[in-house]
Structure 1
């Protein structure tokens, strides 16, 4: 089966194999999160994230339970409780949803963006006058960000871990002592019991990423694969996102008619390709070009795309 699901999405087989072998023998899932062993693991995982993303000391790495939606709401509540309003740069479905979660303000202190819109197939990384809060759920670790942010956050189920676990990276200069995120910062993400399964899975993902060559390697692979997919689609009668806005991890397109969309989706299902149908909010088709798409599956996918008529 070729799984193009946007999330939960498949992780690299090597990551899942390592996770399966380690989890049955791991003492971490049975120990108190305040134990010396657990605290050492959390610190080690923070260091690994820092190294992978090349973060400066001004950033703190936090491990949270919950989805990216919950992270969005948590961050907005924290900032608004300190009197800091939020503006929104709306580029698609998820940034539009986020814009409904904050109070209206005429004096924003931050701007929220969704760098990669999975439903719309749009990637935009623009400079903004205000400090940025960025949802990077579907592009983190796959690209080297060209701009800085006050807060980055991502749920784990698309790229680096599992559902129910989120990564949050905050600039310490933007965290007030009254904010809930500050409690995570000063407690080593241990103010509540942390999502240890998701964290162990992230650790194995980062180990795999380091072995492969880090973000530089994954960024190159992601761009090469997306270029190959777009090249095939450009030869067909489909509607694509304009080149300057195209996502490398979420490739969205529409056939010349709803009937063609239906036929192509059925053809892919007949060839054991799942997740090809895009979200109902936009329609059309979608190819998730994520790290868990193994090379053999990717090669077969290209052949199937070529055969679509």
Structure 2
């Protein structure tokens, strides 16, 4: 039921919306002292709590009643110790399978470390330690880059500008056929990307046939130095954005031209109307006296 062959489930209950599972190793075990080999004596148990894989939508806590052992050989330097399990490292807060799953979710599912830590009921640093433990070897494995024939690169704003530093950027490199993130390098300069490409062997570089990038010239310079044989294309997001920007510029230009022409026509029309409604200047005429017949 538990899936950990070292343990037997004694009881379980929900405590503060977490599933607590009481586990023990089977009775009747024979243990020898790991120093002198003399048969050890059981001296009871003590309880430790270890986080395991979530179950039923709840974090799981293994309440492990660890057996205490004592060596009765007077000449042996070892006096007491507690039992161990291959599923739980010494003084660990998480089972081994829980640590592996945390790394998988962060690396493969792209879940945030904080989100995974919350699901497991642990702190961010504990979850991140599990990611480093099981993830660094995978990142350092050169085989993870095998099979890449189309490379993409783009910049991402990593940290907003503050009073003490400008906006910080990183460059992401991806396999554009699978969408898999290959690596993230600091900055968005040609040197940052060129240094990453320089660490790849020639056979790997030779297999890259297409490079997709944004219009940032730094990337083009880096690609030209190491992947001059590859076809360069602008990613569709930036291509569409540049196209829309060009259309907007033309619309604004045409709009401004039409507005200027309309204003000129309006001014001309106003001048013509004003001229037509204004009497022409001429010599003054005296008013005729009232005819005598009308007096």
- TM-score, normalised by the number of residues in structure 1: 0.19
Would you tell me which structure has more strand in proportion to its own residues? 2
Bigger Rg, which one: 2
Determine which structure has greater relative contact order: mean sequence separation of CA pairs < 8 Å that are 6+ residues apart, divided by chain length.
Answer: 1
